[in-house]
Amino acid sequence: METRLRGVGVSHGMAIGEVRHIGTAVLEPPTREVAADEAPREAERARRAAEAVAADLRARGTLAGGQAQAVLEAQAMMAVDPELLADVDRRIGAGSSAEGAVHDAMAAYRELLAGAGEYLAARVADLDDVRNRVVARLMGVPIPGVPDSDEPYVLVARDLAPADTALLDPSLVLGFVTEEGGPTSHSAILARALGVPAVVALPGALRLAEGTVVAVDGSGGEVLVNPSARERASLARRAREREAATRTASGPGATRDGHKVPLMANIGTPADVAAAVEAGAEGVGLFRTEFLFLHGGQSPPGEDEQRAAYRQVLEAFPEGRVVVRVLDAGADKPLPFLPRAHDEPNPALGVRGLRALLEHPGVLAVQLRALAAAARELPVALDVMAPMVADQADARAFVDACRAAGLSARAGAMVEVPAAALRARSLLQEVEFLSVGTNDLAQYAFAADRQLGVVSRLHDPWQPALLDLVAMAAEAAKAEAKSCGVCGEAAADPLLACVLTGLGVTSLSMAASALPGVRAALAEHTLAQCERAAAAARAAESAEAARAAAEAVLASG
Ligand code: PEP
Ligand code: MG
């Protein structure tokens, strides 16, 4: 019988295939007491296993290359983290076996990560994978891993670990479904990098029997279990049509009647640039620079180090536009060199984003100076924007900081706080452009924590209230003859991209893998159709109804 399950769509497209599970169950080591005189040998055994796993992860990284390599190297560092190994030694000294000590020390570390905000919590799956690898090596049992299949399949897991996914044969993976994870988990990042549809946070995913046929709708976030033959044929036909359209569309983003909508890429590190160029990005619409800072330890990266990283990105788009977002720290991305001066019972409502930078103006000044230096002598159009701008005073403070750093780039504001959308014209008296961050805008508009699975319904970017706020920002920009892009996840949904265009949004920025689908969808519809679809979506009373209404308008030609 057909069943419909709902999760969160994080990588667009449709896949139909049989379920194959990836083994991620935690290995439970047997309890064994170790005598005091055996402890040094046991500690040596644990250290060697950790080092062997780290070396194996690094080797896998070298094989995989690209973004996966950075992730695997980070995992290798987790395996031989000195504090973790010291904890393992302590536990062995107290009578634990090497297996037991590694298992328990990692469990303690896991607790810490799980409670430390979205970015770090998303690394829990990486840590579980490291633990399984070290414990399996110590126990002499095989490491749980990717399915052994010659036929294409839909990969199902609790959450995916990069060490396994890096070695997946992409030609066999039709899509991902995970029980846990969120839009920033590795499952999501890797699915987007591979360009396969993915649904995460799907309750019941682990109960799907091996071999069951499922249809994964990475756009709508639905998984259809045991679809009927008719349903399968119709889904497959739609997927084929979309794929054919995607292959044929190329060049700059535009509607069928030639209304230009520049299509840009969201990147996190210079390593993401190659995929963006390959996918035909017309520039970078969001460079999330915090990735440079998150690995830096106790102090921010210096001006020279930052300049070199920014230059790598700017050089890749000699004719294009690159929008760099200054450091977005605080809340779920705490940084040791931006200490909290206040007690924050609700960090998401506290000193984060631009607020944190204005409290630490030296960090902002170094970043802006590095950007100015990187852009000097390059023909690229550099834009710099601030996250979490709430009002005109914020916008002015940011523009002043840019000028004080000698930056000639255009300065812009992200619209992530509902107040910024409501008073967009006021912000535009100070800044040159707006860029709507729909992820945070939804979080604050719906008072729904973006890290919390139980409220994910409210994070559906088709929510009409979110569309209303985007429309307000876009209308204000039009009235001021300035631009208003969207760089949140909403831009990556091909259908929604048409609606955003109809709302008056002037550019769209997304993960590189989403660009072809969005380009194709825009090329199929006229601006007038997009406008009608936008009006229909805004007139709806729910996210589902908004999507259905827009789909009906766009399908009617
Ligand atoms: C957003 O909030 O929509 C956004 C693009 O920023 P981030 O996802 O990095 O918070
Ligand atoms: Mg944001």
178 pLDDT exceeds 80? yes
Give whichever of 292-296, 321-325, 452-456, 543-547 has the largest mean pLDDT.
321-325
274 token code pair:
């190659």
Query: Is the distance from the beta carbon of residue 289 to the nearest atom of ligand 1 less than 6 Å?
Result: no
Can you spell out the DSSP letters for 218-243? TTTTEEEES--HHHHHHHHHHHHHHH
What pLDDT score was predicted for residue 118? Answer: 65
CATH 3.50.30.10 domain position(s) in the chain: 3-21+145-244
| Predicted confidence (pLDDT) per residue in 191-225, tens digit | 877 778 999 889 889 888 888 999 998 877 889 99
| Predicted confidence (pLDDT) per residue in 48-104, tens digit | 999 999 998 888 788 777 777 888 888 899 999 999 999 999 999 999 999 999 999
What pLDDT score was predicted for residue 68? Answer: 74
Nearest CA to ligand 1 atom 1: 437
Q: Kindly give, in sequence order, each residue whose CB lies less than 8 Å from that of residue 345, ignoring residues fewer than 6 positions away.
A: none
DSSP state of 525: S
| Predicted confidence (pLDDT) per residue in 492-514, tens digit | 999 999 999 999 999 999 988 88
548 pLDDT exceeds 60? yes
CATH 3.20.20.60 domain position(s) in the chain: 249-556
CATH superfamily name and code, 36-139? PtsI, HPr-binding domain (1.10.274.10)
Can you spell out the DSSP letters for 159-214? S--HHHHTTS-TTTEEEEEESS--TTSHHHHHHHHHT--EEES-TTGGGSPTT-EE
385 pLDDT exceeds 90? yes
Active-site residue, selected from the candidate residues 103, 360, 459, 487: 487
What pLDDT score was predicted for residue 187? Answer: 74
24 pLDDT exceeds 60? no
Active-site residue, selected from the candidate residues 12, 21, 186, 459: 186
25 pLDDT exceeds 60? no
Phi then psi for residue 372, to 5 deg, are: -60, -45
Q: 249-556 domain in CATH 3.20.20.60?
A: yes
Rounded to the nearest integer, the mean pLDDT of the chain is 89
CATH 1.10.274.10 domain position(s) in the chain: 36-139
Nearest atom in ligand 1 to the alpha carbon of residue 183 is 8
User: SS in 3 state form for 123-145?
Assistant: CHHHHHHHHHHHHHHHHCCCCCC
CATH fold, domain 3-21+145-244, is Glucose Oxidase; domain 1 (3.50.30)
Closest ligand to the CA of 438: 1
259 as an active site residue: the answer is no
Banded model confidence at residue 256, pLDDT cuts 50, 70, 90: very high
Q: In terms of DSSP bridges, do strands 483-486 and 283-288 run parallel, antiparallel, or are they unpaired?
A: unpaired
Nearest atom in ligand 1 to the alpha carbon of residue 286 is 5
Can you spell out the DSSP letters for 87-126? HHHHHHHTT--HHHHHHHHHHHHHHHHHTS-HHHHTTHHH
- Radius of gyration for the chain, computed over Cα atoms and rounded to the nearest angstrom: 24
3-class state of residue 481 by DSSP: coil
| Predicted confidence (pLDDT) per residue in 118-171, tens digit | 667 767 778 888 898 898 888 877 666 777 677 899 999 888 876 666 667 778
Distance (Å) from CA 467 to ligand 1 centroid: 16
- Which helix (H) or strand (E) segment holds residue 303: the answer is helix 303-315
Query: Is the distance from the beta carbon of residue 456 to the nearest atom of ligand 1 less than 6 Å?
Result: no
Distance (Å) from CA 439 to ligand 2 centroid: 6
Report the alpha-carbon distance of residue 184 to residue 338 in Å, rounded. 22
Report the alpha-carbon distance of residue 338 to residue 237 in Å, rounded. 52
Query: Is the distance from the beta carbon of residue 388 to the nearest atom of ligand 1 less than 6 Å?
Result: no
Distance (Å) from CA 434 to ligand 1 centroid: 13
Report the alpha-carbon distance of residue 145 to residue 127 in Å, rounded. 15
Q: What is the pTM of this model?
A: 0.69
Identify residue 525 by its one-letter amino acid code. Answer: H
Query: Is the distance from the beta carbon of residue 438 to the nearest atom of ligand 1 less than 6 Å?
Result: yes
186 as an active site residue: the answer is yes
What does the pLDDT average to over 452-468?
88
**What residues does 283 pair with on adjacent strands?**
321
Query: Is the distance from the beta carbon of residue 487 to the nearest atom of ligand 1 less than 6 Å?
Result: yes
Percent of the chain with pLDDT over 70: 94
Give whichever of 179-193, 199-213, 423-437 has the largest mean pLDDT.
423-437
Banded model confidence at residue 29, pLDDT cuts 50, 70, 90: confident
